[in-house]
Each structure stands twice: as C-alpha cells, then as structure tokens.
Chains A and B, each alone.
Chain A
Amino acid sequence: MRYSYYSGCSLHATAREFDLSTRAVCRRLGIELAEIPDWNCCGATAAHSTSHLLGVALAARNLALAGEQGLDVLVPCAACYQRLAVARKEMDQNSELWKRVVRITGRDYTDRVGIKSLLEVLAGLDSEQLAAQVVRPLEGLKVACYYGCLLVRPPAVTGFDDPEHPRTMDRLVRLAGAESVDWDYKTECCGAAQGVSNEPVALKLARDILEVASRAGADCLVCACPLCQSNLDARQGHVNRAYGTSLKLPVMYFTQLLGLAFGFDERELGLDTLFVDPRPVIRALG
C-alpha cells in the first residue's frame, strides 16, 4: 500500500511526535508514505476565514502535486485533511470553481486523487492484520478517544464514521489491548486556533473535555490533530491555572498508543516530549 503523504506544517515542528509515530506505525503495517514534493501549507482556518477562494487554491496546489505522484493522499492532521478534502469536493462539484483555481494556481488539476485521513486508512485495515502487530497489549489502560471536529464533520465532506458517535479510533485502541471508555465529549471542539488568538474560550473548552474524560475514568486521552493535542496537553497547565483544577491527563496521538502496542520504544514515538508525561501511566501497566 502506497500513499502520497501530506504531513502539514505542525508535524515538522510542535507536532513532530505525530509525524514520528505515524511513520513508525505505517512502516510496521507495510504502508509506504511518499511525501508530496514541495507541498505548501493547506491555509488552515486563517485562509478559509479570509477568502474562500484562497482556502481552496492553497489546498489545490497540493492536490495537483499529489496528482503528479498518482497516489491517493494520506493526511494525519485532522485540519489539513479537511482543507484538502473540502477543496477536492468543491472543485469536483463546481467546474467554474475548478477553472478559476487552475487559472489562479497555474497548475492543472486533472489527475484527481483521493484524500484520506490517517485514521480512516488505519481503521480500514482488517483486524487480523492489525492484531498481528500487537506485541505489547496495553491491558488495563483506560483510554478516552477524542476525535474532535474535522475528522468526522461535516459528513458530506468526510463521509467517514459517525459524526455524532464515531467509533473507529475506539476499535483501534481495543485492538491495541487497551480499554476505550464511553464518554460524551468525543467530538466537542477544543477551540482550535483560539488557543492562540482568544485563549479564555479555548481554555474553557479544553477544561470541559479533560474533566469529562477524567470523570469517565480515563487514564489518558488520544487524539488525531496537532491543534487539539496542543490545546489539551500544552495548555493543560493554563487550564489548571485559570480554573484552579489539578488535571493531569496525558494526551497522546492515537499513533503513539498504537506504536507502543506494536513494540516501539517511548523515544521512537516521541512519548518523552509531551507536556503531561504519559510514561508513568504506561509504565504502571508493567
């Protein structure tokens, strides 16, 4: 299995452990990742909030480059994934828009490629193939699977899992030998970029998510988006300061958890570089 790999900007910096663990897990599962040559930023919320056309055009350059590779695109970051998926869908449905974008980017976008989130690709593998790689079942670990917004919403774009009650990540966590807890905030928003631009709002949302996960008995939370991870992990100290709470819930990427079960060591997966250290919880499993 071979994919065009769109890592996105964060995976080269603050979310480097998402990149590390994605590459490790994919390598083990025989999924080959060919990074899109000279890819550019998807534009994120800043672009589509400023000009719809800009949001589509920035994403479209990447689609054109992936088209030259002739492979479907695999995207770990939930936000990048959605920008590319929206651009593809809108250009498919609107030939006027498609023509404008080709004119704007100066790149012909004719080799249409599929866009898949990493979660969708891994969840699409059969259970036996995944289970065969599990050498260290994470028995006894209670995990809250946090999907956030953009992997499953809006369903007209993502066409994947259930937008209100997704289960694919839970299945992967169970295959890794851990227990996925039942909780209500799987798809609540973390506040996204407002962590930077309007922090009080993001801290309230993060507090709610972290508290609901803790109350559900979770030892840790797993996610699939750099911005979610940063709002919930790096800003957890800010949450505690703002609300007088003493939350200490490790927030990992779901690929880090899978990687552990596949037998990679903590450093290979970047588990030593999170803010709330997940290693005590993991080591307590024995």
Chain B
Amino acid sequence: MRLNLTVATRDGTEFVRRVEAESGQKVADCYQCGKCTAGCPVTFAMDLMPHQVVRLLQLGLGDEILESKTIWLCSTCATCTTRCPRNIDLARLMDTLRSTARSAGRTKAGKGIAQFNEVFLDSVRRYGRAHELGIGLRYNLKTGKLFKDSDLARGWFLRGRLKVAVPKIRGVAEIDRIFNEIKRMEGGK
C-alpha cells in the first residue's frame, strides 16, 4: 500500500481527533498485535484488515479508511472488541467511521449497505417500527434488484410470517421528533 504521509500530517490530526471524540477510543493505545484481524469473520471480503484501519488512524490517513469497503463490511459482531488486549472497542470505532463516511457523503464502497440502512430507518421514522415487507420492497426498488429474495418473501408469506399491514405506533410523532432533534444537533443529513 502506498501512503502519502504529507497529507497525514496536514489534515490527519483533526480527522483523528474527531473520530476519537465521537467513538471514545484512543487509537494510540493499539500496538498492532493483529488479534482483531485474526478473529474477524469478514476479513475474507475486506480490502483493509481491521488492524490496518487502526494503523491508518494512527497515521492520520482518513481518506483510505473512508473509501474502504471494510468499514461497511463490519457486521458489529464485536469479536474484536471482546478480544482486544488494549481494550479498544473496535466495533464502536467502525460505527463512528461509518457514520463519518455517511455524513461526508462517501458511501460508494458500501453503497448497498448504506442504502439498506436508509430504507430501514425511513420505516422506523414513519411507523416507529421496522416493517420488514416494506423495507424489502423499497430496498429492491432503490437498488434496482427487483426480485431479490422474492423466493424468501413467497416462502414467508405462505407460512404466514410476512406482515402486510403497516405496524404504526401511537407515538410516531415522538419518533419523528427524535430524528429531527438529532439532525438539528448533529447538523447535516
């Protein structure tokens, strides 16, 4: 991997400061043992190994991280968090990196996953609940894969496990308020 360390010293410090503040993790604590990578179930699909993400943070190289598939492939299983000998909550760090990438509009490397999150939260905001059928349909429309999982939907439907009616809660205005307040506090989208 070729790294431009000049960029790192110029813009990196501010990026790392923000990531550390938001995640509550100190990246300097990591001594690069690689235990997170050894236990991670998704490394087979990742472009950066989890310990490399932390190393890049130590070097202040945010761009490489925000453009990587790794932050989106992390499924938050917390095996890394559980095993880290330096008590770094890497799963939490990945959360922060995902939300940072999203606010910066840099979701290209994890497009499908970012779109799924959006559709899911839209359901929560409208109804206060996750309406599985609606989420599946809207996700398929959004990604253009119209028939994805249609066999499963049919199977669930035949088994009486697909709820067609929308489960709207009474306090849906409260949920909308939560989304609005957070948008106001955090700015952006």
Contact = CB atoms under 8 A, between A and B. Distances in A.
Contacts of B116: 46, 193, 196-197
B132 A14 contact: yes
A251 to B, nearest CB: 14
B105 interface: no
B114 to A, nearest CB: 8
B76 A57 contact: no
A107 B22 CA distance: 24
Contact of B124 (A40, A49, A105, A274): A40
B120 A201 contact: no
B163 A61 contact: no
A49 B117 contact: yes
Interface in B1-57: 22, 41-42, 44-45
A189 interface: yes
A38 B112 contact: no
B159 A273 contact: yes
A10 B132 contact: yes
Nearest to B41: A189
A61 B175 CA distance: 9
Interface string B107-125: 0000011011110110110
Contacts of B160: 16, 273
Interface stretch (A132-140, A149-157, A215-223, A242-250): A149-157
A107 to B, nearest CB: 8
A179 interface: no
Contacts of A44: 120, 130
A49 B42 contact: no
Given A154-B82, A189-B77, A58 B95 contact: no
Contacts of A52: 22, 95-96, 99
B174 A47 contact: no
A58 B124 contact: yes
Given A13-B133, A106-B177, A273 B82 contact: no
A234 B157 CA distance: 12
Contacts of A154: 78, 81-82, 89, 91
A164 B185 CA distance: 39
A154 B78 CA distance: 6
A96 to B, nearest CB: 12
A240 interface: no
B105 to A, nearest CB: 13
Given A14-B161, A16-B161, A38-B169, A153 B79 contact: yes
A205 B74 CA distance: 13
A170 B17 CA distance: 45
- Give the bracket for the number of chain A residues in contact with chain B: 35 or more
Nearest to B136: A196
A199 to B, nearest CB: 8
B132 A45 contact: no
A234 B75 contact: no
Nearest to B170: A38
Nearest to A230: B152
Contacts of B117: 45-46, 49-50
> Which of A17, A155, A163, A189 is the most central at the interface, judged by chain B CB atoms within 10 Å of its CB?
A189
A49, A191, A194, A274 — most chain B CB neighbours (10 Å): A49
A194 B75 contact: yes
A53 B182 contact: yes
Interface in A1-53: 9-10, 12-17, 38-41, 43-53
B181 interface: yes
B162 A14 contact: yes
B141 interface: no
A189 B79 contact: yes
A237 B151 contact: yes
Interface of B: 22, 41-42, 44-45, 72-73, 75-79, 81-82, 89, 91, 95-96, 98-99, 102, 112-113, 115-118, 120-121, 123-124, 128-133, 136, 139, 148-149, 151-152, 155-156, 159-163, 167, 169-171, 174-175, 177-179, 181-182, 185-186
Given A38-B170, A57-B178, A235-B152, 8 more contacts: A9-B167, A14-B162, A17-B161, A44-B130, A54-B182, A106-B177, A153-B81, A154-B82
